[in-house]
Structure 1
Amino acid sequence: MRIIVSGGGTGGHIYPAITLIKTVQSLVKPCEILYVGTREGLEADIIPQEGLPFRTINIRGFARKLSVSNFVTLMKAVGSLWESRKIIRDFKPDLVIGTGGYVCGPVLLTASLMGIPTMVQEQNVIPGITNRILARFVAKIAVGYADTCQYFYDREKIVFTGNPIRPEVLSATRAEGFAELGLDPAKRTILISGGSRGARSINQAMLEVHRYYVQNKSVQLLHVTGKNEYNGIVGNLMQMGIDITSTGNISIKPYLHNMPKALAIADLAVFRAGAVGLAELTALGIPAVLIPYPYAAENHQELNARVMEQRGAAVVIRDCDLTGKRLLKTVRELIGDSARLAGMAQASKALGRPEAAADIARLAIELSQPR
C-alpha cells in the first residue's frame, strides 16, 4: 500500500497526521508513506525527524485582505498543482490523505482530478477554508466533532471519528507519571500548559494562582510555560518571594517531552483549546479550564472549547477576560468541589474518542482498496 499524506503549517495539522501514519503502518504491511509539505512550515523540521520521506511544493496561504502579495500567491498555487502532479505520478499512491493547512489543497485536488481516492481529516468544529473547498472533491471526510457535519454540503461523505491521539497518551499510567515527574501521588495535580510555545496571558495569570497555592498541603501545580516564557515566570515568582526549588508543590518546566505522563496524573488542566490537546484531555476524561487562543483562524479554538463547556466537561474563560483573580477563583471552585470535578471528568470521558486513529486508519485502508 502506498499513501501520500499532506498537512502543515501548525502542529495541529502535523501531529494527527503522524499518529495516523503510524496507525496505518501497524495495520498494513508493507506500507510506503510519502509526506508532502512546504519548506517553510513546521513539517519541514518535524517530518524528517520522524524518519518519513518528505517532498515539498511551493505554496503559501492567501492574505485575508486584498493585496499584491495575493497575486503572487495565486501564481504559486497554480504552479503547485503541476508540482503536485509530478510528485503523484512519481510515487503512484493508492490513497492521498490531507490533515489540513493550505499545503494539502493542491495535493488533494490534483489527486482527486487524477482519479486517486482522497480523504481529509478535519480536527476542528469549524472546518478550515482548504478543507471546505476540498470537501467537494474528496471521497471521504473524517471529522473530529459531530457538530462539524453541518458545515459540509455532502453528508454522505462524512464520518464522525474523533481526532487521532498518540498511543502513549493512552498507555501512560499515573504511577509512571508521578515517578517520572517527581510529584506527590497524595496531592491533587493541576496541569497548566499554553502549548509547545507557551501562552503569555496564561502564564501571567498563573502568578496569582501560584501565590495562593504555594506550599499547599493538598494541591500541586505542574506548569509548562514554553521555552521563551520560562525565565520570565521564574523571575517573577522569585520577586514574589517564591523559590520553586523549595515550595514542595510547584513545578515549573519550560517544555515537557513526556506530556503523556503529565496528562496521566492531571486532576484538572488549564489549557488552550487546540483540537489535538482537547482530544487528549477527553480521551483520558480530564476536566479543564480552557482559555482559547484568540487569534486562531475563524476563532475555531473558542468554538472547540464551547463544545466542551456545553457538555459540562470544561469552564471557558476568553483570553480578553483572563486575569489572575478570575483564573484563581475558577481553579479554587473546581479543585475544591470533588463532586463537580468528578462530573466534569465523566462528561469529558463521554466526549473522548480514544479509538479515533484506528477508525480513521481502517477507513483509509478501505478507501484505498480497488472497487
Structure 2
Amino acid sequence: MRVLVTGGGTGGHIYPALAVIRALQQVDDQLEVLYIGTENGLENKIVTHEGLPFKHIEIAGFKRSLSLENVKTIMKFFKSVSISKKYIKEFQPDVVIGTGGYVCGPVVYSAAKMKIPTIIHEQNSLPGVTNKFLARYVDKVAICFEEARSYFPQQKVVLTGNPRATEVASTLKTGKSSLGLNPHKKTVMISGGSRGAEPINDAFISMIKAYEKADYEVVFVTGDKHYESIKDRIEHVEQLKNVHILPFISNMPQYLVNMDLFVGRSGATFLAEVTALGVPCILIPSPYVTANHQEFNARSLTDHGGGVLLLEKELTGERLYQEIEKIMNDDQLRLTMQNTSKQLGIPDAAQRLIKLMNEIIEKK
C-alpha cells in the first residue's frame, strides 16, 4: 500500500498520524509512506526524526478579521495545491489521510479533486476550520468523539477513535517502585503538559504543605521552562518525601498506567491515552486554544462521569486540593470513573482507521 499522510502545527495532529503509520507498518511490510507538512512546522522535525520521507509546502491559516494577510493566504493555498498535485502524481498514493492543521487543506483537497481516496481524521470534539472545509470533498471523516459527528455530512462520518490510543492501550503496569514511588500508596499526577501551565503550577504550589502530609503521593510535572523557578519557590524542596517534582516526562503512558488520578489539560491526543488506560481525571482545559476546543474535549469525558471538569477561571489552590481529596478518599468513585473512562476509550482506533482506509480504496 502507498499512503500519503499530512497533518501538522501541533503534536495533537502529528502523533495520531505517526501512530497509524506504525500500525500500518506492522501489517504491511511493503508499505510506502510519504508525509507532507510545512518546512518550519513541528511536523518536519518529528517526522524526519522517525526516518519517514518528508516533503513540504508553504501554507498559513486565515485571520479572523479582514486582512491583507488573508489575500496572501489564498495565494499560498492555490500555489500549495499546485505543488501538492505534483507530489501526488509523483508518489501515486492509494489513499491520502489528513490529520488536521492548515497543511492538510491543499494536500487533501488536491487528492480529492484527483479522485484519490481521501480521509480526514478529526481528533477534537469541536472540529477545526480546515477539516470542516475538507469534509465536503473527502470520502470519509473519521472522528474520535461522538460530539463531533454533527459538524460533518452524516453519511461520511465514522467513529474510529484516536490511533494514539492503540499504542498506549497495551502499556503494562511496571510497578510504582520502579518509578521511584511508594508501592503501598495511591498516587496523583499533576501536569500542565510538556511546557507546563502556570495557573496549575501556582495552584498546586500554594497548597504543597497539605500535599506533603497527604496519605497519597503526588508526581508534580512542572514543564521544562518552569522547573528551576518552581524549585526556587518551594522551601526545603530537597526534604520533600511525598511530592516528586519533575520537569518533563517523556514516557507518559508508563507513568499514567500507574496513576490513581491525573490532573491537567485536555488535549485530544492526551484524552485518547487517558481513556485507553482508564485513568480518573480532573481536567482543567486550556482557555487559550482555538475556539476553546479543550473544554469541549473535556466535557466529552466529564459529562459522562469519567472525570471532573474544573475551569481555569474557577481554579484556586484550595479548590484543587478539595477536588483531589474528594476523589482520592473515595475508592468507589475512582473505580466508577475508571470504568466510565475505559468505556469511552477506543483502544483499537488504529485498526478501525486502517479498515476504513481499505474500504474506501476498494470502492474506488
TM over 0.5: yes
1:224 to 217, 221, 226: 221
C-alpha deviations, 1:100-124, integer Å up to 9, x for none? 0010010000000001000011011
The structural deviation recorded for 1:171 is 2.7
C-alpha deviations, 1:26-52, integer Å up to 9, x for none? 122300001100012110111111111
RMSD: 1.4
The answer for the alignment partner of 1:181 in structure 2 is 179
The structural deviation recorded for 1:168 is 4.8
Contact 2:286/2:295 (<8 A) preserved: yes
Match for 1:161: what amino acid? T
Q: Distance in 2 between matches of 1:172 and 1:232?
A: 33
After TM superposition, list the pairs within 5 Å mapping 1:245-256 onto structure 2.
245-256=238-249
Q: Secondary structure at the match of 2:220?
A: strand
C-alpha deviations, 1:165-224, integer Å up to 9, x for none? 2555223322x15244211111111011212211111111111342211154x3111111
Contact 2:280/2:341 (<8 A) preserved: yes
Q: Secondary structure at the match of 2:239?
A: coil
1:106 aligns with 2:106: yes
The answer for the alignment partner of 1:273 in structure 2 is 266
The answer for the alignment partner of 1:194 in structure 2 is 192
The answer for the alignment partner of 1:259 in structure 2 is 252
Q: Secondary structure at the match of 2:96?
A: strand
Q: Give percent identity, aligned residues only.
A: 45
Q: Distance in 2 between matches of 1:311 and 1:145?
A: 12
The answer for the alignment partner of 1:163 in structure 2 is 162
Q: Secondary structure at the match of 2:299?
A: helix
Q: Distance in 1 between matches of 2:59 and 2:139?
A: 24
Q: Distance in 2 between matches of 1:177 and 1:57?
A: 45
C-alpha deviations, 1:326-363, integer Å up to 9, x for none? 11111111111112111111111111111111111221
After TM superposition, list the pairs within 5 Å mapping 1:1-371 onto structure 2.
1-152=1-152, 154-165=153-164, 167-174=166-173, 176-216=174-214, 218-237=215-234, 241-243=235-237, 245-369=238-362, 371=364
Match for 2:119: what amino acid? M
Q: Distance in 1 between matches of 2:320 and 2:64?
A: 33
Q: Secondary structure at the match of 2:60?
A: coil
Match for 1:306: what amino acid? R
Q: Distance in 1 between matches of 2:207 and 2:361?
A: 51
The structural deviation recorded for 1:368 is 2.4
Distance 1:267 1:257, change over 3 A: same
Contact 1:57/1:80 (<8 A) preserved: yes
Distance 1:334 1:209, change over 3 A: farther
Is the deviation greater in 192-201 or in 45-54? 192-201
Q: Distance in 2 between matches of 1:195 and 1:60?
A: 25
Q: Distance in 2 between matches of 1:179 and 1:60?
A: 47
Structure 2, unmatched stretches of 5+, are none
TM-score (norm 1): 0.95
Contact 1:118/1:138 (<8 A) preserved: yes
Q: Secondary structure at the match of 1:265?
A: coil
Match for 1:138: what amino acid? V
The structural deviation recorded for 1:248 is 2.1
The structural deviation recorded for 1:63 is 1.5
The structural deviation recorded for 1:132 is 0.6
Q: Distance in 2 between matches of 1:357 and 1:299?
A: 27
C-alpha deviations, 1:35-88, integer Å up to 9, x for none? 100012110111111111110001111122122222211211111111111111
Q: Distance in 2 between matches of 1:46 and 1:177?
A: 30
Contact 1:168/1:260 (<8 A) preserved: no
TM-score (norm 2): 0.97
